[in-house]
Structures are given as C-alpha cells and as structure tokens.
Amino acid sequence: MKLVIPLLFSTILSYGQTSVLGKWKTVDESGEEKSIIEIFERNDKVYGKIVRIFTQEDPDPICDQCPSDDPRFGKKIIGMEIIKDMVKDGEEYTQGTILDPQDGKIYRSRIWTEGADLKVRGYWGPFYRTQTWKKVD
C-alpha cells in the first residue's frame, strides 16, 4: 500500500502535462507561422527537425547561412535537425542547442511545456529570446 499511493500521486501529477515530443508549429513574435518541427528522442536525448516550412519564397531552401564548419552548411533545411542534445532536467530540457537556419546562429537552448504550448528559449550569452510553439494534431 505504501508503494501504491506515491505511484498513484505521481501518475495524477504527470497526467495533465504535455510531452515535448511530437510535432510543433513555430510561431514568431509577430504571430506568423514559420514551420513545423518534429521533436523526438534518441539515445536518451531530445532532438528536433524541420518537417515543413511555410514560406512564399524558396519551398526547399538550403542552409547557406549556417557556419561553414557546421555539417548542416549547404544542406536542405527541410529534414534538418535544428535542436540537438537536449537532456531532461526536471520538467524541462536543457544543455542542448538550437540553430536558427535563417541567420545560421546556434544558441544554447532550453525547452519546456506550459499548458498545451511548448516554450523554446535560445540564449546568446546572458541574453535570451523565448518563443511559444503550438502543438500540431
């Protein structure tokens, strides 16, 4: 009985939480939908790749802004892993990076769920920017 109560309590607490895994629609600060990212787990770490881009320009662009020493340089953006090596730390994932393929910058990153949304924060030194991504059904 002593084991059942903590197990039941932890199940109830985790029931309402949204997983970071799945497909998410990225939305910039202006509210414009930019892409769909699929977040998945591999070798106990979390990664995210671009599966769709909403653009009026090139429908299948390459990452010509990525650093030239990065293996993603010159590769197609659709299918590209932009979130790498995220490790679970309590209720969030940290210690990984996120790439912005539009400007080629790589940021330290942290992701977590807040209600039904995914919060994605990229750090540049002491500064950061947070976006809210929406779950895709």
Q: Is the pLDDT of residue 129 over 90?
A: yes
Residue 117 has a CB neighbour count (10 Å cut-off) of 16
Q: What's the pLDDT band for 17 if we cut at 50, 70, 90?
A: low
Listed by start position, the domains of the chain span 18-135
Q: How far apart are CA 117 and CA 103, in angstroms?
A: 25
pTM of the model: 0.83
Tokens 């030194």 belong to which residue? Answer: 125
3-state SS of 34-61?
Answer: EEEEEEEEECCEEEEEEEEECCCCCCCC
Assigned architecture for domain 18-135: Beta Barrel (2.40)
Q: How far apart are CA 137 and CA 127, in angstroms?
A: 32
What integer pLDDT is reported at residue 4 of this predicted model? Answer: 40
Q: Which residues of 1-30 are buried (b: 16+ CB within 10 A; e: fewer)?
A: eeeeeeeeeeeeeeeeeeebeebbbbbeee
Q: How far apart are CA 112 and CA 120, in angstroms?
A: 7
What integer pLDDT is reported at residue 9 of this predicted model? Answer: 40
